[in-house]
């Protein structure tokens, strides 16, 4: 594999408490180009700007997808990754939806491991920190006609990250969005494509202006059923049952969502994947059965929800504090990721 090392390594962060999310990038990246119907060899090169013609179709039609995963440095010094095969499998499903070529996951994974070994000194070790892995694929043909590109660029950049939320594990406030829509069945909601994010920004900003952290999206047809929040899947504890919206096609199939479901089922919790109407949430809240709410996603892992704003009223969940099941899942999943807990599900791979 061709590796071109930087001649100007950057100064590394000194204070892991100020890392935030996605602000710093390591010295190198992985790049692989697709043309004439085939992927070339992956290469490692210095992290640097891309140069592309203004007519590059990505810049006009948004044919682009990405993934998010994390690498960790364990207490005994190993480099590990969490469920990375699931990320590449999902990326290939997103690629197919967006008429983009699939990648050979084994080739890309071993190239990623090479990159991780090279950048290992960038992996932070403080609790809650990790090296975020961002695989991305973009349409790279100079062409204004509207059809799938003939050239693509795949790349992976790495970013040392702290806790996703500035206020750590503080429960977040979310606002139910009843007018704008993130995704409809038959659309691209279950693909991790760039446009989904662009179209969700306005709902997020609207929530921020009203004093909430994020928007909670409802289904596109009836604006009634819970879908997801920002970049997280949504869970509720109603009475003694953990419920999460079923993957109906407009919801991103989160890997953390799946991890949470597997942990809950293994530990004997009652779990349901189904439609959840806002009327059901409000009724459960009113009769004291809405015990907990939380979001799941690679960046935040498990994020407790303390307040749900709906039609001008705030539902304060569990007194605005993190609930028991939320805390159990956070400890269990971050425990497996950091090797504090046994890897009962075979989710952790060592980068040797």
Orientation of helix 255-266 relative to helix 84-97, angle to 10°: 130
CB of 296 to ligand PLP, least distance (A): 6
162 binds ligand PLP (CB under 6 A): no
Q: Which of 65, 252, 278, 333 binds ligand PLP (CB under 6 A)?
A: 252
User: Is 177 or 228 the residue whose CB approaches ligand PLP more closely?
Assistant: 228
20 to 49, contacts with ligand PLP by CB under 6 A? none
257 binds ligand PLP (CB under 6 A): yes
Dihedral sign for Cα 206, 208, 209, 212, please.
Answer: positive
User: Is 26 or 296 the residue whose CB approaches ligand PLP more closely?
Assistant: 296
CB of 233 to ligand PLP, least distance (A): 5
CB of 250 to ligand PLP, least distance (A): 10
Backbone φ and ψ of 186, nearest 5°: 95, -15
Helical (H) or strand (E) element with 89: helix 84-97
171 binds ligand PLP (CB under 6 A): no
Residues near ligand PLP (CB under 6 A), total: 14
Q: Which of 26, 63, 298, 338 binds ligand PLP (CB under 6 A)?
A: 298
Q: Which of 175, 127, 218, 162 is nearest to 306 (CA)?
A: 175
Token output for 93: 């499903």
Q: How far apart are CA 321 and CA 319, in angstroms?
A: 5
User: Is 226 or 232 the residue whose CB approaches ligand PLP more closely?
Assistant: 232
Q: Which of 149, 296, 334, 338 binds ligand PLP (CB under 6 A)?
A: 296
231 binds ligand PLP (CB under 6 A): yes
94 binds ligand PLP (CB under 6 A): no
68 binds ligand PLP (CB under 6 A): yes
In terms of Cβ atoms closer than 10 Å to its own Cβ (0-12, 13-18, 19+), residue 174 is buried
Q: Which of 190, 228, 280, 292 binds ligand PLP (CB under 6 A)?
A: 228
303 binds ligand PLP (CB under 6 A): no
User: Is 258 or 339 the residue whose CB approaches ligand PLP more closely?
Assistant: 258
- Interaction pattern, residues 187-226, with ligand PLP; x per rule: CB under 6 A: -----x----------------------------------
Q: Which residue has the tokens 């991780």?
A: 116
177 binds ligand PLP (CB under 6 A): no
Q: How far apart are CA 244 and CA 281, in angstroms?
A: 12
Q: How far apart are CA 98 and CA 123, in angstroms?
A: 32
Q: Which of 42, 64, 297, 306 binds ligand PLP (CB under 6 A)?
A: 297
Token output for 175: 């606002």
Orientation of helix 324-337 relative to helix 255-266, angle to 10°: 110
Q: Which stretch binds ligand PLP (CB under 6 A): 52-60, 97-105, 296-304, 333-341?
A: 296-304
User: Is 139 or 255 the residue whose CB approaches ligand PLP more closely?
Assistant: 255
Which residues of the chain form beta strands (DSSP E)? 2-3, 28-35, 38-39, 43-46, 64-66, 69-73, 79-82, 130-139, 152-161, 172-177, 214-218, 226-229, 232-238, 241-245, 270-274, 290-297, 301-310, 313-316, 348-350
95 to 154, contacts with ligand PLP by CB under 6 A? none
Can you give the binding site for ligand PLP, defined by CB under 6 A?
68, 192, 228, 231-233, 252, 254-257, 296-298
């Amino acid at each position: 594999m061709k590796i071109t090392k930087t001649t100007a390594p950057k100064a590394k962060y000194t204070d892991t408490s100020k890392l935030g999310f996605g602000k710093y990038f390591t010295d190198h990246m992985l790049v692989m180009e697709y043309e004439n119907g085939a992927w070339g060899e992956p290469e490692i090169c210095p992290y640097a700007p891309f140069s592309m013609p203004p007519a590059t179709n990505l810049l006009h039609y948004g044919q682009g997808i990405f993934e998010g995963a994390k690498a960790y440095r364990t207490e005994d010094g190993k480099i590990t990754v969490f469920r990375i095969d699931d990320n590449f499998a999902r990326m290939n499903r997103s690629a197919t939806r967006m008429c983009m070529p699939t990648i050979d996951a084994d080739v890309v994974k071993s190239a990623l491991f090479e990159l991780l070994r090279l950048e290992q000194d960038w992996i932070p070790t403080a609790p809650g920190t990790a090296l975020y892995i961002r695989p991305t694929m973009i349409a790279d043909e100079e062409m204004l006609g509207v059809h799938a590109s003939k050239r693509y660029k795949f790349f992976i950049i790495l970013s040392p990250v702290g806790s996703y939320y500035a206020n750590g594990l503080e429960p977040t406030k979310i606002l139910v969005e009843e007018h704008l829509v993130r995704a409809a069945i038959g659309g691209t909601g279950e693909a991790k494509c760039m446009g989904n994010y662009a179209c969700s920004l306005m709902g997020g900003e609207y929530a921020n202006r009203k004093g909430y952290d994020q928007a909670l999206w409802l289904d596109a047809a009836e604006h009634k059923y819970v879908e997801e929040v920002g970049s997280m899947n949504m869970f509720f504890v109603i009475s003694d049952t953990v419920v999460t919206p079923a993957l109906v096609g407009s919801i991103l199939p989160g890997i953390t969502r799946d991890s949470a479901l597997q942990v809950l089922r293994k530990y004997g919790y009652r779990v349901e994947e189904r439609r959840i109407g806002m009327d059901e949430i409000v009724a459960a809240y009113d009769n004291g059965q809405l015990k907990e709410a939380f979001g799941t996603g690679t960046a935040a892992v498990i994020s407790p929800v303390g307040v749900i704003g709906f039609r001008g009223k705030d539902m304060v969940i569990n007194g605005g504090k993190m609930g028991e099941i939320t805390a159990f899942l956070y400890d269990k999943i971050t425990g497996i990721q950091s090797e504090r807990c046994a890897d009962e599900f075979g989710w952790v791979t060592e980068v040797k």
